[in-house]
Chain A
């Protein structure tokens, strides 16, 4: 079965610093990978996705992720953190029935 592991349940960065959220996947077939963000008491918002083609994927709000097959990774980055980036971030991979299998999430804290 397809699964993802998010490394670090909590990540803290200073405003203006690089954001790096880690995600590794396990899949027996070429994976379709996703990053979602969830702000407090809200639903899920898609940041970006990788299906086929270019391995560097650009998303909304300045985020991007790179699919690295050799490392089975799909890490999320943003060059400069903003206070408004504080949220919960979820990595996901498409599995049986096209269902998204989510990681446990990483809570991003941005300090002034």
Chain B
């Protein structure tokens, strides 16, 4: 969707290196989310943010940290990448009204070798 841009789209990195994925939105949405998608597991919530500098952990937060210094950007950092973090990562935002509308990014395919 045009409202969310994830970067990079693809990345290969080595075990033990730090990696940062970026999610940028232009919709001024308050809530933002990071998910990982793995075969047989669906999408699992890593972290979410409910405002600038306000974040909380999701189901699979170990090994990940996030930051949100501006409304439009939500960063996901793997401090020391492991092979188990090879996955497709999706960012999402939620509309600010009560319509329960969500926008998903196109995903980042991360391979840790």
Selected contact of A100 from candidates B40, B102, B105, B107, CB within 8 Å: B102
Query: A84–B98 Cα gap in the complex (Å)?
Result: 32
Interface residues contributed by chain B, number (CB under 8 Å): 26
- Given A103-B42, A104-B41, A105-B42, residue A98 in contact with residue B104 (CB < 8 A): no
Is the pair A44, B104 in contact by a Cβ cutoff of 8 Å?
yes
Closest-by-CB residue of A relative to B41 is A104
Is the pair A43, B90 in contact by a Cβ cutoff of 8 Å?
yes
Within 8 Å of chain A (Cβ to Cβ): is B24?
no
Selected contact of A98 from candidates B1, B44, B94, B106, CB within 8 Å: B94
Is the pair B40, A9 in contact by a Cβ cutoff of 8 Å?
yes
Is the pair A43, B104 in contact by a Cβ cutoff of 8 Å?
yes
Interface residues contributed by chain A, number (CB under 8 Å): 21
| Residues on the A chain within 8 Å of B42, using CB | 6, 90, 102-105
Within 8 Å of chain A (Cβ to Cβ): is B92?
yes
Within 8 Å of chain A (Cβ to Cβ): is B48?
yes
Selected contact of A99 from candidates B33, B41, B106, CB within 8 Å: B33
**Interface flags, B78-113, vs A, CB<8A=1, else 0:** 000000000000101010001110101111000000
Is the pair A99, B58 in contact by a Cβ cutoff of 8 Å?
yes
Within 8 Å of chain A (Cβ to Cβ): is B43?
yes
Nearest CB in chain A: distance from B5 CB, A: 12
Selected contact of B43 from candidates A6, A51, A90, CB within 8 Å: A90
| Residues on the B chain within 8 Å of A100, using CB | 33, 43, 45, 92, 102
Interface, chain A (partner B; CB < 8 A): 6, 9, 32, 34, 43-44, 46, 49, 51, 90, 94, 96-105
A-B contact pairs, 16 of them (CB 8 A): A9-B40, A34-B102, A43-B90, A43-B104, A43-B107, A46-B102, A51-B100, A90-B43, A94-B100, A97-B48, A99-B45, A99-B48, A100-B92, A101-B45, A102-B43, A103-B42
The 5 closest A-B pairs by CB, nearest first: A104-B42, A102-B42, A102-B43, A44-B104, A105-B42
Having A43-B104, A104-B40, one finds 14 other A-B pairs with CB under 8 Å, namely A43-B90, A43-B105, A43-B106, A44-B43, A51-B98, A90-B43, A97-B56, A99-B45, A99-B58, A100-B33, A100-B43, A100-B45, A100-B92, A105-B42
